[in-house]
Structure 1
Amino acid sequence: MALTSTTTDATQIITVHSDRIDAAMAIQFKEDMRTQADGGAARVVLDLTGVEFIDSSGLGAIVASMKQLGNDRRLDLAGLHPFVEKVFRLTRMDTVFKLYPTLDDALATTAG
């Protein structure tokens, strides 16, 4: 799984370059997230613009990635396709993560 990372102001943006986060790639996703987010900014925005499908393993991998950041860092999600957003809402994970329609919307909002 390919992830890229950039930092803007006090926000680290990690972009997922895959159309799926599922059981076949959940473990690799967690490892790649750990590598990309290690020592980064206090706020991390995961850009899911290219992700069209996520299953429970993928959802679990994103939750695990949030936990890896620790209590002093925050993981927000941006660019969720309708199906992916539906998974987050049905599982009530929209109460755990801040969801933004686009990356620009996420960057226009300060963490907090």
Structure 2
Amino acid sequence: MGLTSKTTGATQVITVESDRIDAAMAIQFKEDMRRETETECDRVILDLTGVEFIDSSGLGAIVASMKQLGDGRRLDLSGLQPVVEKVFRLTRMDTVFKLFTTLDDALAETLD
């Protein structure tokens, strides 16, 4: 599982460098996310542009990553491919996360 990270002001952008987040890589994803989000950024954007498949384990790993951020920090998602976005909508996780069509759209929104 590969993640890359960059910080812009109070926002950290983490890009998933894999085409899938599934049971085979969910544990590694959670560990990598924990390590990457040790910063003090108030907002983390997870860029899923390259992710073409996600299963329930992958969804759970993203939820766990959000929870480990703690109170006062936010995890937003960008670049969801149609199949991945459908998983978030079918499971109603689109009510838990803010979903943005592109990373630029996510970056354009400021924190409240």
- Regarding TM over 0.5, the answer is yes
1:45 is the counterpart of 2:45: yes
Q: Distance in 2 between matches of 1:7 and 1:26?
A: 24
Q: Distance in 1 between matches of 2:21 and 2:110?
A: 27
Q: Tell me, which stretches of 5 or more residues in structure 2 are unaligned?
A: none
Residue in structure 1 matched with residue 36 of structure 2 by the alignment = 36
For residue 6 of structure 1, give the secondary structure of its aligned residue in structure 2: strand
For residue 14 of structure 2, give the secondary structure of its aligned residue in structure 1: strand
Aligned residues: 112
User: If the length of structure 2 is used for normalisation, what is the TM-score?
Assistant: 0.98
Amino acid at match of 1:10: A
Matches within 5 A, 1:1-112: 1-112=1-112
Q: Distance in 2 between matches of 1:99 and 1:111?
A: 14
Aligned residues with identical type, % of pairs: 79
Q: Tell me, which stretches of 5 or more residues in structure 1 are unaligned?
A: none
Superposition misfits of 4+ residues, deviation over 4 angstroms: none
Contact in 2 for aligned 1:12/1:40 (Cα 8 Å): no
Q: Deviations over 1:8-48 (max 9, x none)?
A: 12100000000000000000000000000112310000000
